[in-house]
């Protein structure tokens, strides 16, 4: 996995979509891989919540015959938290303030999710670097 490429994707998304405050990438079971989060956020807890939230949403979609799960979004009065599956092995969390344009976020995340999926599964450029 190319750590620098992953960091660039996450930071690029925050700069591309106005209103994104934090992002995180984790394994599908909730084990944190990377976090671009403020000090006030616990990234490990957030990753675990996202894994549980996506699992519950996937089961809900299945139980109600809603087809393949696309994303889950939690809306609050100060913003929202969006959880996306990255292929079958990982997930991405995006937190935004109340100004963030969700439609713009969903448009921007689709190509980013594809690239992040490729980075995570790419074993050729395995670089063990901490803090890129």
Partner 1 sequence: MCEAAGGVMSGHEHLAQALAECGRDGYTGELRVHGTPGGTFHFGDGRVVAVETPGAPGPEALLLRSGRVSGEQWAELVRESGGSRWPATALIAHGYAGAAQLRVVCALALHDAAFAMAAGRVDGCERVASAELFAQVPLGEPPLRLLQDATRRLSALAGLPHPVHPDRERPVPAGTGPGSTALQRELLTHADGRCTARDLAFRVGRGVYTVAVEVARMLDEGLLVCTAAPVPLPVRTLPDGHALQPRKPSQAEPPPPPAYGDLPRRKPGSFFRLRNGTANGTAK
Q: Which residues bind partner 1 (CB under 8 A)?
A: 1, 3, 6-7, 10-11, 18-19, 21, 27-29, 31-36, 38-42, 45-46, 48-49, 52, 55, 58-59, 63, 76-78, 88-90, 97-101, 104, 120-121, 128-132
Shorter beta-carbon distance to partner 1: residue 59 or 110? 59
102, 112 in Cβ contact below 8 A? no
Whole-number minimum distance, CB 63 to partner 1, in Å? 7
Sign, Cα dihedral of 49, 50, 55, 61 = positive
Whole-number minimum distance, CB 124 to partner 1, in Å? 15
Whole-number minimum distance, CB 82 to partner 1, in Å? 15
Closest CA to 117 of 30, 33, 22, 19: 33
- In the block, which residue shows the tokens 């925050």? 14
Q: Are strands 79-86 and 20-27 parallel, antiparallel or unpaired?
A: unpaired
Whole-number minimum distance, CB 29 to partner 1, in Å? 7
Furthest C-alpha separation in the chain: 43
């Amino acid at each position: 996995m190319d750590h620098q490429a992953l960091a660039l994707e996450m930071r690029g998304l925050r700069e591309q979509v106005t209103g994104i405050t934090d992002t995180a990438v984790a394994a599908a079971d909730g084990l944190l891989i990377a976090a671009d989060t403020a000090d006030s956020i616990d990234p490990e807890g957030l990753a675990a919540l996202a894994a549980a939230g996506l699992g519950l949403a996937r089961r809900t979609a299945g139980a109600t015959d809603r087809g393949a799960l696309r994303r889950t979004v939690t809306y609050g009065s100060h913003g929202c938290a969006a959880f996306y599956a990255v292929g079958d092995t990982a997930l991405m969390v995006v937190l935004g303030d109340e100004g963030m344009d969700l439609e713009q976020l969903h448009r921007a995340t689709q190509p980013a999710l594809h690239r992040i999926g490729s980075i995570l599964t790419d074993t050729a450029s395995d670089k063990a670097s901490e803090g890129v």
